[in-house]
A and B are shown apart, each in its own frame.
Chain A
Amino acid sequence: MKFAILVNEGPYQHQASDSAYQFTQAALKKGHEIFRVFFYHDGVNNASRLTVPPQDDRHIVNRWSELAKAHNLDLVVCIAAAQRRGMLDENEAKRNGKDANNIAEGFRISGLGQLIEAGIQSERLVVFGD
């Protein structure tokens, strides 16, 4: 089956990103297709490469990056939600006159249309949030 995943909560604060990760991993293992993982609301914070959790804890951001690399996943961060929360890629940092960017490898910033498209293209859109 072709799934799309929506992650609506930030890492560590909330279970949503962990559950979404585990669901995505399990679906891939069973041979399903993940059309896209879309990060919205505080979910955009899952893409910060400046995240430094304690060493004995899971690294939620790196875990997504690694899964994306292994399975060629499309991890998309909503641009509007990202900008108001200080999440910028290189282009957006430049465009907004900021001196830094913080998007982790394997994530890309794009618009909400990508979420709607994911809903249209997939057989199931699974929402992880509060």
Chain B
Amino acid sequence: MEDEGVVKKFLYLNRKAPYGSIYALESLEVVLIGAAFDQDVSLAFIDDGVYQLKKNQQTSVTSGIGVKDFSKTYRALEGYDVEKLYVDKKTMEERGLSTDDLLVPVEVLDDAQMAELMEQQDVVLSF
């Protein structure tokens, strides 16, 4: 591959709820395709984006809005060597969430740490 050898820090910034709009699903599609490029990938979840990682999502037509539940894909990210997942502390507190409510292990960052994470990146893809 032409880009072989170049490793940049990519941050996927997920800001929106998993359903109601397609941003979360299509962001995940970029992450999965991007994994083939062997870059240094991190995912951050802020605002309603933290709901993307919520356990027990029920979206079938009988129990929810009748769209595909793609949340299990987040658990598969480890297999793609995407292991750096971060959530925003204030976001979690505002929504009454703890890391036990989430599908995957995450690191909780406060505002300053989140800003520092963003500062370290070469590429920030905000969805």
**A residues apposed to B, CB below 8 Å:** 6, 8, 40-41, 80-81, 111-113, 115-117, 119-121, 125, 127, 129-130
| B65 close to A (CB within 8 Å) | no
Q: Is the CB of A113 within 8 A of B123?
A: no
Can you give 10 A-B contacts (C-beta < 8 A)?
A6-B125, A81-B26, A113-B33, A117-B3, A120-B6, A120-B8, A121-B3, A125-B123, A125-B125, A129-B127
A-B pairs under 8 A by CB, number: 53
Nearest CB in chain B: distance from A1 CB, A: 14
Q: Is the CB of B37 within 8 A of A113?
A: yes
Interface of B, secondary structure class, is: mixed
**B residues apposed to A, CB below 8 Å:** 2-3, 6, 8, 10, 22-23, 26, 29-30, 33-34, 36-37, 39, 122-127
- Give the complex CA separation of A125 and B9 in angstroms: 12
Q: Quick one: given A112-B29, A120-B3, A120-B6, are A127 and B36 in contact (CB under 8 Å)?
A: no
